[in-house]
């Protein structure tokens, strides 16, 4: 049965949680294929507002099996706490499956992440300091510890001893931090193994069997395209493959199973942390978008940088992900401005860029000038109760159509508020 990849088409924080929750009821499995608890998805379920960082949003539906794939890195403490939170809110985690090949975030990863950022000073990357990058470093260096290793204390101790022989040297001699002992970490982590054990599975085998049985899958990306380790604004990126190509490698399901790629994009654009941001608004309009849009990170609480919609970014995301559809979120926030700008190209050092430039150094303010088209807004008009595309004000319809034109991707879903029912389906079909 064909399946769908859902991912961020900007710098993350596009509202993926709501859209995942909204469409996931049409699927049998929801799979996180990359990242860790550096992600933050806000989901509103009835009167309950939940912040999920690791467990897929589909956990809220009894018929869905949520899966944490092999491409993820897992902090067992965060995972167990999130499971307890969901159970406390009345959502069962019984169906949750966790890949035995997913890598484990260890306490020294978290220490090294924070220490590295402090050491970089003004050149910091802007990580969440959750240990994500160092865990992926060990995975690539073939010295990581996987979920399956937690199940055998002897193997866990052997791998931990080998890792600490190096990590303790780095912690103490480079960063002046305290070392770890094998017994100390075993005491912390082995109890988590008993919580995780019932949920562990060979998830690649499971998912492929289910596909052959006619089931379908929603692959849930955690961060945005421009944070992808290969295709993002390196080095101000995350440490995994956020793009659609990461779904097969991060789950063990072949690309032929995927027939739709849904890119989530805000009607404006935001970014958390450091790195280039050509359309950033450092003025009263940017502050207004931040305030009205509630632009603060779910995971870190950090204030998001706000700017006008960037069609250059969106066209790039459309290409590297093979986007078939776009979900446009937070269109209602733009009711706070009277004129709306869309960046259609960049100008840097006398050259025009209609496509994302090869050298990201040109994206910084001293080089780049966004080339804007300006459209009339619908300031003061509340669109949160609009149920169809035709219900939207004429200028809002014009804006959506313009974004479809400059990105080349149909806006099949339009969010006009945070609630589930504040959504316009404009041609979306999950199958």
Whether the ω angle into residue 20 lies within 30 degrees of 0, i.e. cis, is no
In whole angstroms, what is the distance from residue 200 CA to residue 193 CA? 10
In whole angstroms, what is the distance from residue 411 CA to residue 196 CA? 39
Burial of 81 (0-12, 13-18, 19+ CB in 10 A): middle
Helix, strand or coil, per DSSP, at residue 339:
strand
Secondary structure letter of residue 7 according to DSSP: E
Burial 154-192 (b: 16+ CB within 10 A, else e): eebbebbeebbeebbebbeeeeebeebeeeebeeebeeb
Residue 34's nearest CA partner among 69, 80, 86, 85 is: 69
Strand-pair category, 200-201 with 97-99: parallel
The answer to whether the CB of 41 falls within 8 A of the CB of 52 is yes
Q: State the catalytic residue, choosing from 13, 21, 28, 325.
A: 13
Torsion of CA 247, 249, 255, 260, to 10 degrees: 0
Q: Is 426 a catalytic residue?
A: no
Q: State the catalytic residue, choosing from 21, 26, 28, 41.
A: 41
Q: How many residues does the chain have?
A: 431
- Angle between helical axes of 182-196 and 153-169 (0-180°, round to 10): 130
Q: Is 13 a catalytic residue?
A: yes
In whole angstroms, what is the distance from residue 179 CA to residue 176 CA? 9
In whole angstroms, what is the distance from residue 219 CA to residue 263 CA? 12
In whole angstroms, what is the distance from residue 313 CA to residue 330 CA? 18
| Active-site residue list | 13, 41
């Amino acid at each position: 049965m064909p399946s769908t990849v859902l991912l961020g088409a900007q710098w993350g924080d596009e509202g993926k949680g709501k859209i995942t929750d909204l469409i996931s009821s049409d699927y049998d499995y929801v799979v996180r294929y990359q990242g860790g608890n550096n992600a933050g998805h806000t989901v509103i379920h009835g009167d309950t507002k939940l912040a999920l960082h690791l467990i897929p949003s589909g956990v809220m539906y009894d018929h869905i099996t949520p899966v944490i794939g092999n491409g993820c890195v897992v902090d067992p403490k965060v995972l167990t706490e999130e499971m307890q939170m969901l159970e406390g809110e009345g959502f069962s985690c019984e169906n949750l499956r966790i890949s035995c090949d997913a890598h484990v975030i260890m306490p020294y990863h978290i220490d090294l992440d924070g220490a590295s950022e402090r050491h970089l000073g003004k050149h910091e990357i802007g990580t969440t300091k959750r240990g994500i990058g160092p865990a992926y470093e060990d995975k690539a260096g073939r010295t990581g510890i996987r979920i399956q290793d937690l199940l055998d204390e002897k193997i866990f101790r052997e791998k931990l001893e080998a890792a600490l022989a190096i990590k303790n040297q780095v912690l103490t001699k480079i960063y002046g931090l305290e070392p770890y002992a094998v017994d100390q970490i075993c005491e912390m982590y082995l109890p988590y193994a008993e919580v995780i054990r019932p949920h562990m599975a060979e998830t690649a085998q499971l998912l492929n069997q289910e596909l052959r049985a006619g089931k379908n899958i929603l692959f849930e990306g955690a961060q945005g395209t421009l944070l992808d380790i290969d295709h993002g604004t390196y080095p101000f990126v995350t440490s995994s493959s956020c793009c659609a190509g990461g779904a097969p490698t991060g789950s063990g399901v072949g690309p032929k199973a995927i027939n739709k790629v849904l890119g989530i994009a805000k009607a404006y654009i935001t970014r958390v942390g450091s790195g280039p941001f050509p359309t950033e608004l450092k003025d009263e309009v940017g502050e207004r978008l931040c305030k009205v849009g509630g632009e603060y990170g779910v995971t870190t609480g950090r204030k998001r940088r706000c700017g006008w919609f960037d069609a250059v970014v969106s066209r790039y995301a459309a290409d590297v992900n093979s986007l078939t559809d776009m979900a446009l979120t937070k269109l209602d926030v733009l009711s706070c401005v009277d004129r709306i700008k869309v960046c259609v190209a960049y100008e840097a050092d006398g050259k025009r860029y209609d496509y994302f430039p090869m050298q990201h150094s040109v994206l910084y303010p001293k080089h780049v000038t966004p080339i804007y088209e300006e459209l009339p807004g619908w300031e003061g008009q509340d669109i949160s109760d609009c149920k169809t595309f035709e219900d939207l004000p004429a200028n809002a319809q014009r804006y959506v159509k313009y974004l479809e034109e400059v990105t080349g991707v149909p806006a099949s879903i339009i969010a006009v508020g945070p609630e589930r029912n504040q959504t316009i389906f404009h041609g979306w079909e999950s199958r």
